[in-house]
A and B are shown apart, each in its own frame.
Chain A
């Protein structure tokens, strides 16, 4: 496995979908390659940073309206 192949397997590796043999070869390459190790670490940081987009507070007027809708929802 060379770097060009390894970078395209990063997601399969992170998802745990590589075969045992490919996983072993992937890990063996990573262990000896600074560039690919850095790339893998960057993919992990990327995933974490994308996750921060979830931190979006609900606007207060919207929340109030939805809570009111919820309260009315049970009324006949």
Chain B
């Protein structure tokens, strides 16, 4: 398992971050193939998930990722590093995916691909029947510490996670993918999606709570 990217207080200041990415950007601009290869390896999974969240179909999503990389290459010379390289790349993925979805939607209307979108609602995320009239757990969740690690980390659990993410409303899915799969900071996601810090947090909360719920059904 990949270690959880450490992302709390020690996040570098914007100036430092830019400096870190600078060397990678310089390498790319200089035509360093190894740098490009490392970049596409690192970002492929998160980019594919993000594209799939927009276009639904995996094959189309793979096209979107490829087109996004080609767009990056075409515009790289004009990229001045005002945002981090990673933010810039993911911004392009989102744009390409959105354009592709509009195109696909003209061909076959996007069916009820998701339910009603309550992404920004503050309604409770936990079934209220689980609490007594005093607001305390009637039957609290069980610790997963006793679930065998092989089950927690197993392929079936991963499938549950994928299914849970796919069933999320798009706005929540986008945020949880950018935060927990692509590893962006909260401020970066707010900027990428053009949403407030509060909305970013609410969507993340609803998304994680929904995935947790589906995992609880499986892990106990």
Binding site for B on A (CB under 8 A): 2-5, 7-8, 10-12, 15-17, 33-39, 41-43, 45-59, 62-63, 65-67, 69-71, 73-74
Minimum CB–CB distance for B162 against chain A, Å: 7
A41-B4 in contact given A53-B49, A71-B33 (Cβ < 8 Å): no
Q: Chain B residues with Cβ under 8 A from A63's Cβ?
A: 37, 40-41
Q: How many residues of chain B are within 8 Å of chain A by beta carbon?
A: 62
Taking chain A's interface residues, is the majority helix, strand, or loop, or is none over half, making it mixed? Answer: helix
Per a CB cutoff under 8 Å, which of A15, A39, A56, A69 touches B141? Answer: A39
Minimum CB–CB distance for A57 against chain B, Å: 7
Chain B 127-155: CB-based contact to A (< 8 A → 1; otherwise 0):
01001001111001111110000001000
Q: Measured between alpha carbons, how far is A66 from B212 in the docked complex, in Å? A: 36
Binding site for A on B (CB under 8 A): 1-2, 4-5, 8-9, 31, 33, 36-37, 40-41, 44-46, 48-49, 62, 65-66, 69-70, 73, 76, 122, 124-126, 128, 131, 134-137, 140-145, 152, 157-158, 161-162, 165, 176-177, 180-183, 186, 201, 204-205, 208-209, 211-212, 215-216
Taking chain B's interface residues, is the majority helix, strand, or loop, or is none over half, making it mixed? Answer: helix
A66-B40 in contact given A2-B136, A50-B161, A56-B45 (Cβ < 8 Å): yes
Question: Is there an interface contact between B161 and A59, defined as CB atoms closer than 8 Å?
Answer: no
Per a CB cutoff under 8 Å, which of B4, B44, B137, B180 touches A57? Answer: B44
